[in-house]
């Protein structure tokens, strides 16, 4: 099971800004994901839950509000998507994550 992020790290100004990352599904099966942040006060992630078609991609946007320079991280949990799932948030509660990837967040 393979999911990668491009770029694999996020660097934004401490004064605020955003960064777009592409999640790349390296498998032929549809995946479901959930993103967690170590700092929900200064970072907003869109979307938090989602699906990625087999061998497909999904853009996520990381937005940072103003705050002091700091190191944080995003952790993306993923699993094969249930065949009949249409609501990623509800469906993610029914699966066991098969893997995780971490995106380091740096605000300078």
Rounded mean pLDDT, 23-46: 96
**Residue 82 pLDDT > 80:** yes
**Residue 6 pLDDT > 80:** yes
| pTM for this predicted structure | 0.94
At 92, phi and psi to the nearest 5? Answer: -65, -30
**Residue 61 pLDDT > 90:** yes
Structural domains of the chain sorted by starting position, each given as residue range(s) with its CATH number in brackets? 3-107 (2.60.40.10)
Neighbours of 81 (CB within 10 A): 21
**Residue 1 pLDDT > 70:** no
Q: If DSSP codes are grouped into helix, strand and coil, which group holds residue 83?
A: coil
The pLDDT of residue 32: 98
- Whether 78 and 32 have beta carbons less than 8 Å apart is answered as yes
């Amino acid at each position: 099971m393979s999911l990668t992020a491009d770029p694999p790290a996020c660097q934004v100004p401490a004064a605020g800004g955003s960064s777009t990352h592409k999640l790349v599904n390296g498998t032929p099966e549809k995946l479901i994901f959930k993103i967690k942040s170590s700092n929900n006060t200064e970072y907003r992630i869109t979307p938090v839950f989602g699906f990625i078609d087999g061998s497909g991609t999904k853009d996520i946007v990381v937005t940072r509000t103003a705050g002091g320079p700091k190191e944080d991280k995003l952790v993306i949990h993923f699993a094969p998507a249930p065949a009949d799932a249409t609501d990623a948030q509800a469906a993610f509660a029914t699966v066991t994550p098969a893997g995780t990837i971490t995106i380091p967040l740096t605000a300078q």
